[in-house]
């Protein structure tokens, strides 16, 4: 029987990231094959980023990789930037998005540490 869409588990994944690979391995070790979104190849829309932020209960900078060169190069540490500017930056430069993000239904967790993804299982 196919899994209902509400039960579908989605991982926003970067295969080059050790934490992301570990989270995916944890899910698979529980017999779960999530839908994988390689967000560097297919960046989430601004609306999707807002939806993820809402499910995570985070503000944009809390979901950003602030040590990334792009963060500094774009001046994203400027406190005068608006939320929509930060969300647009994540859409246009998905390398800025912290990973992995795992979603199930209306809930999401940031897989840092990777074991946090088990909260959704």
Q: Which of 1, 8, 16, 17 is catalytic?
A: 17
Whether residue 17 lies in the annotated active site = yes
Structural contact between residues 55 and 107, judged by C-beta atoms closer than 8 angstroms? yes
Distance CA 111, CA 47 (A): 21
Cβ burial of 64 (10 Å; 0-12, 13-18, 19+) is buried
Report, as residue numbers or ranges, the catalytic residues.
17
């Amino acid at each position: 029987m196919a899994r209902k869409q509400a039960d579908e588990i989605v991982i926003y994944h970067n295969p080059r990231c050790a934490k992301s690979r570990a989270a995916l391995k944890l899910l698979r070790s529980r017999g779960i094959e999530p839908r994988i979104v390689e967000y560097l190849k297919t960046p989430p829309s601004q609306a999707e980023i807002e939806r993820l932020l809402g499910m995570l209960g985070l503000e944009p900078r809390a979901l950003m990789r602030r040590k990334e060169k792009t963060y500094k190069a774009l001046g994203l540490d400027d406190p005068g930037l608006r939320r929509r500017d930060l969300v647009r930056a994540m859409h246009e430069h998905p390398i800025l998005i912290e990973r992995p993000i795992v979603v199930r239904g209306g809930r999401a967790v940031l897989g840092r540490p990777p074991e946090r993804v088990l909260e959704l299982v």
